[in-house]
Amino acid sequence: MGWFRQLLSRRRRYDELSQSIREHLEEKIADLIDRGMTREQAEHAALRAFGNVTLIEERSREVWQWPTLESALADIRFAFRQLLRSPAFTVTAVTTLALGIAVNATMFSLVSAFLLPRLPGLDPQNVVVPTSINPDATFQASANPVSAPNYFLWASDKHLFSEVAAADEYRIGSLSGPGQQPEAITYAAVTANYFSVFGAVPQLGRAFLAGEDQAGRDHVVILSHGLWERRYGSDRSIVGKTVRFNREDYVVAGIMPASFRHLGFTPQLWAPITFTAADRAPNARKNRFLYVFARLAPGVTLKQAHSQLEALAEQAQHDFPEIESRWGATIRTLPEFLIYNFDIRPAITILMAIVGFVLLIACANVAGLLLARAVGRQKELAIRMSLGATRVRMVRQLVTEGLVIALAGGGIGLALTYLGIRFLRAALTFNEAISAMPVRLDSGVLLFAVAVSLASALLSSVAPAIKASRASINTDLKNETRSASGRGHNRLRVVLVGGEIAIALFLLIGSGLLIRGVYLIDHQKLGFEHDHLMTAGIGLDQARYPDAAKQEKFVRDLMTQLRQIPGVMGTALTSDLPASGFNSVTFHIKGQQATRANERHTTADVVVTPEFFEIIGVPVLNGRGLTDLDDATAQRVVLVNQQFVRKYFPGRDPIGKQIQLDVSGSPAAWSEIVGVVGDMKSYSEDTRFEPQVFEAYQQRPVGSFSLMLRTSVDPTSLTPSLRHTAAQLDSELPLLRVMSMDTMIDLNRHGNPLFAQLLTTFAVLALLLSALGIYGLIAYSVGQRTQEIGIRLALGAKTSDISRMILRDGFKVALIGSAIGFVVALPLPKLFASVLEGDLSFSAPFIYPLVLAVMLIVVLCSTAVPASHATGVNPTVALRSE
Amino acid sequence: MKKKPEHRDLFAGALELMILKSLHWRPMHGYALAQRLQSISEDYLQIEEGSLYPALQRMLKAGWLETEMGISARNRPVRIFRVTKAGRKHLEQELESVKKMFAGFNRVLQLAGRQEA
C-alpha cells in the first residue's frame, strides 16, 4: 500500500519542495540585502549560488517517481498539449496515418482469413497433401489430382505415410424425396478413413466405419452442418434415418460440425468412395481425379516424402511411358495446399505490397511534417537543452509525440478498418467459397494494426527527432532568422518528398498496368453471342440412364419439349459451356510421324449437337457444319476452329484430314475434319484463343452436359418453365447452375472488379498523399522564404518570376522522384507476368507517359497554391517580420 | 563559479551523511543547513546550494528525515528538517563504516609508498 499513499501524498510533497526552495531563496536574498546588495543584485546572486532551480526541482521530484513510467507519462501529457496547440498539423498527420493504417489493417484481414487459415481437426498442420504435377497445365500445374493407381501405390508405402485418405472432392449429386424439388448438391466421395486423417469427428452420429467404402456397404452419408441446417432444419433425429441421394436410399451416419471447412471449400455431403477393379488397371492412370490427404510416417520429413514421391513418379514414367511421361509428383502441407489451390495469394500479395507502400508514403509525410515542426521548435529545444535537458530526453520527447500521433492515427484507423472490412465482406460474395470466409476484425488484425501504428511512429519520428536534437545550443539561440537553420532539415524533407513521389509513381504505374490487364480481359471479344442465352447443367446418372440409348432419348425428348416454350428460339447441347473452360485432350494427325510423348498435340475437345454453332452465333467458315446425319453409324467427323488450323495446319487445307483424339473411356477412332469454324474463347479469363475440336453428340454421347437456349426474351424469365419441362420428363433429376450465359461469365470474372477497385483506391490514395507531401514541402519553404521573396519583390522582381521560382522548386523534386519511380517501374510487366498465372497481358506502354503526366499535373496543382501565396507577399510586411 | 562535478562528491552518500549529521545536531531549514555546511567546511568543499534538495528528498523518501513547520531566524515560517529515529540509526551505522573506511584508506595511503619489511 506504500506506493499508493505515496502517489496520493506526492502532490503535497511537490508543493512542499517548491515551498522549501522558495523559502531558501528568500532567506538568502534577505541576508544578501542585509550585507548591502540591492534587491536585484541579491536575487541574481542567490539564484547563482543555488543553481538551476527548474532542473533541481525536477531532479528532486524524480526521487519520488518511478523514473521511466512517470516521465513517459509526462512526455505523453506534454505531447498532447503540444499537438492540441497546433491542430492543423495534428489533424493532417493523424488523418494521414489513419488512412495508411486503415488500408493496411483492412488488407491484413484478408491475409488473416485466407493466408493464415484456421483449419479444423486435430493438428491440421501435420496433414500433408501429395499431388501430381501436370506437365501441360499452365494453371496450378503442381496441384493436379492423382489417379487411383498412384493413390494405391502411395498408400501402400508404409514407410512414407502412416495414414492415407483419398477424396473425389467435386462430385455433383442429387437429393430428392417425395414432394420435394430435386436438388443438385456438391459432394465428396471419400475413403472411410477420411475424417480420421484430419483428426475430425462428427458433431452428431459417427464417421464412416472401416469397410464402408466397399460396394454393398457404401449406402451411408455424412451431412455437412450447412446442409443439415438448411434442408433438414437442424433435426437431430435425422441421424440413422434414410435420405434419397442419387435416386437411392442412404442412411445418414453423422453430421459434421460447422467448423469442418477448408478455406471455404466444403462439400455439402460426404459419401464413401468405392473402387472397382477397373480403377486398378493401368489405363486408370489417365483418370486423375483424387485428392490425397495423408499423415507422414513417424520420423519422415516433408522433404524426404517429396523425394520419395519423385522417385515413385520417375518409376511410373518408366513403367507407363504412354500415360505417365513427364508427369511428376510433389507434396505440401495442408495449409500450403489450400492456399495454393485457392489461388488468392498473388492478388493478396500485390494488394498488401501496395498498401505497404501507401503506408510508407504516409509515414514520409508525417516525418516531413514533424521535421518542419522541429525547425519551428528549434529555439524551444535549444532552450530546453541549455536548461539541462539531456539529448536522450529530447529524442524521447519527440518520439513520444510521434507515438501519440501514430496511436491516434491507429485508433481512427481501426474505426476505418471496421468500415473497410464491412465493405470487403459485402464485396466478397462472388462465390460461395469466398463468402464463407471469416473476414473480420479479429485479434490478429487488431495486433497487426497496433504493430503497424508503432512501426509508423518509429518510421516517421526517429529521423526528425535525432536530427532536431542534434541542433547545437549556440547556433540555434544565436540565429535570429529561421531560414538559415532550416536548410538542413529541408534537404531531408526534399529527399522524403522525392521518395514519396517515386513510390507513388511506381504504384500508379503498377496499378495502371494491372487495371489495364483486368480491363482487357473483361472487355475482350469472346467470339460468340452471349446475350439472350439461357444455360443449365445436367448430369445423367447411371441408375436411370445406364446406356447411351437411354441418355440420347432423354436428350431428344428434352430438346423437343424445350423448343415448345414460348420465347425459346432454339436449343443446343454442349459438353462444356464456352467461356467457362473446355476439356483438354491430346491427339494425333494421320500421316504424321508418330509424335514423341513429350511433344503431343493438345486441343480443347467439345461435344456438341449440330445446332450449337447457330445458337451461339459462331460461323462455319470453311467446309460444312455438323448435321443430324453425323450419327453413330456414319463416318466420325469433327469441326476445328481457326486457331487449330493456324497451329497444326499452317498454310494448308485441313478439310479431309484425319485426326485421332485421346479421350479416356472412349475407343480410339479416326475422325475426319469436315469444317472450320470461327474462334471463340475457351475460357473468358484467357486472353488467347486455343485450338478447339468439336465432336458430334450422336457420335460420342456424354452423360454430363449443358443446355443452351437462345431466347427472344430475358433469359432468366424462362427459369420456371425450364425447370417445369425438365421435371415432367424426370422428377428426380436436378438442374445445375440454371443461369444466363452473361451471369455465368460475370461469375468467372469473380474478383476482377473488386481487385481493380481496390487497386484504384490505393493508387489514388498514394497520389493524394504524395500531393499533400509536396504541397506541405513547398508551402513550408515559401513560408520560410517570405523575407527573401519580399526582398526580391522590393528589388523589382515580377510576381511571375516569383511563382516560376516556386514552381521550379516543386518540379525539381517531382522530376527527380518521378524519374526514379519511372525507372523502377520499367520491369513491372515482366514481374506481374511471372507472379500472376494465366496469360494476362501487362504490356501497356502508354500507361507510363499517362501516369507521368497525371503525376506532373497533380504536382503542378499542389505547388500552384503556395506559389500564388508567395506572389501575394507584401514586401514591406515581409521585411518587417522578424 | 567554478564547477567541477567530478570533485563534488567525495564518495557516494557523503553529502547525505554530512546533512544527517548536521540535522542530528540541530533540526534546520534548507537555507540554514546550506550555510552551516558552507561555514564548517570552510570552503574546502564546494557545495552547490541547490544540490541539497534532491538529497533531502531522497532522505525524506528513505524515512531518515521528516519535516515540520518552524520559524526562521528572520521570523519567517519555514519547513524544518528533522532526523527521525531511523535516520539516527542509519547515521550511526554509516559513521561506523565511514570511520572504518577512512582508517583503511589512511593506512593504505601511509603504507602504500613504503618498501615491505
Residue A15: CB atoms within 10 Å: 10
A588 neighbors A595 (Cβ within 8 angstroms): yes
All residues of chain B having their beta carbon less than 8 Å from the beta carbon of residue A63 are: 54, 57-58, 61
Provide the 3-class DSSP secondary structure of residue A223: strand
A50/B48 Cβ within 8 A: yes
d(CA A577, CA A581): 7
d(CA A392, CA A462): 12
Q: Which of A14, A387, A26, A49 is nearest to B50 (CA)?
A: A49
d(CA A97, CA A367): 11
Helices A482-522 and A752-784, packing angle to 10 deg: 160
All residues of chain A having their beta carbon less than 8 Å from the beta carbon of residue B36 are: none
B interface with A, Cβ–Cβ below 8 Å:
1, 29-32, 34, 48-51, 53-54, 56-58, 60-61, 67, 72-74, 76, 78-79
Residue position matching grid coordinates 493532417: A92
d(CA A666, CA A470): 83
C-alpha cell at A816: 527527380
SS3 of A572-602: EEECCCCCECCEEEEEEECCCCCCCHHHCEE
A398 neighbors A374 (Cβ within 8 angstroms): yes
Residue position matching grid coordinates 523559502: A23
Instruction: Write phi, then psi, for A695 (nearest 5 degrees).
Output: -100, 160
Compare all CA atoms of chain A with the CA of B81 and give the residue at the minimum distance. Answer: A20
The enclosing H or E element of A624 equals none
State residue A801's pLDDT score: 84
State residue A792's pLDDT score: 85
Q: A552: alpha, beta or left, given left = phi > 0 and alpha = psi -120 to 50?
A: alpha
- The pLDDT averaged over each successive group of 10 residues in chain A (882 residues) is 58 78 87 88 86 80 67 79 82 89 89 77 81 79 90 91 91 81 87 91 93 89 91 92 90 91 80 91 87 92 93 91 87 88 81 88 85 74 72 77 88 92 81 70 86 85 72 55 50 83 88 84 88 92 87 94 94 92 85 64 92 94 93 93 93 92 81 95 82 94 92 92 91 88 84 81 87 82 79 84 84 89 88 68 81 88 83 72 53
State residue A239's pLDDT score: 94
User: End-to-end CA distance of chain B, in Å?
Assistant: 48
State residue B8's pLDDT score: 46
Cα dihedral angle (A292, A297, A299, A300), rounded to 10 degrees? -30
Compare all CA atoms of chain A with the CA of B55 and give the residue at the minimum distance. Answer: A60
The enclosing H or E element of A609 equals none
Q: Which of A863, A864, A870 is nearest to A770 (CA)?
A: A863
C-alpha cell at A648: 497444326
C-alpha cell at A742: 452473361
A744 neighbors A831 (Cβ within 8 angstroms): no
d(CA A433, CA A436): 5
The minimum CA-CA distance between A26 and chain B, rounded to whole Å, is 9
B49/A24 Cβ within 8 A: yes
A574 neighbors A606 (Cβ within 8 angstroms): yes
A19/B79 Cβ within 8 A: yes
Residue position matching grid coordinates 485428392: A291
Residue position matching grid coordinates 451471369: A743
Mutate to test the interface with A, among B38, B47, B49 (most CBs of A within 10 A): B49
A617 neighbors A741 (Cβ within 8 angstroms): no
Q: What is the pLDDT of residues B79-115, one digit of tens each?
A: 889 999 999 999 999 888 888 888 888 888 888 877 6
A17 neighbors A25 (Cβ within 8 angstroms): no
Strand pairing report for A601-608 and A620-623 = unpaired
All residues of chain B having their beta carbon less than 8 Å from the beta carbon of residue A62 are: 54
A222 neighbors A209 (Cβ within 8 angstroms): no
d(CA A598, CA A596): 6
d(CA A60, CA A46): 19
Q: Which residues pair with A692 in a beta bridge?
A: A604
Q: A617: alpha, beta or left, given left = phi > 0 and alpha = psi -120 to 50?
A: left
Residue position matching grid coordinates 494465366: A838
State residue A491's pLDDT score: 77
Higher pLDDT, A697 or B54: A697
State residue A488's pLDDT score: 56
The minimum CA-CA distance between B60 and chain A, rounded to whole Å, is 10
C-alpha cell at A359: 503506408
Instruction: Write phi, then psi, for A110 (nearest 5 degrees).
Output: -70, -45
CA A114 to chain centre: 8
B50/A56 Cβ within 8 A: yes
State residue A243's pLDDT score: 92
| Burial profile A677-704: b = 16 or more Cβ within 10 angstroms, e = fewer | bbbbbbbbbbeebbbbbbbbbbbbbbbe
SS3 of A826-872: CCHHHHHHHHCCCCCCCCCCCHHHHHHHHHHHHHHHHHHHHHHHHHC
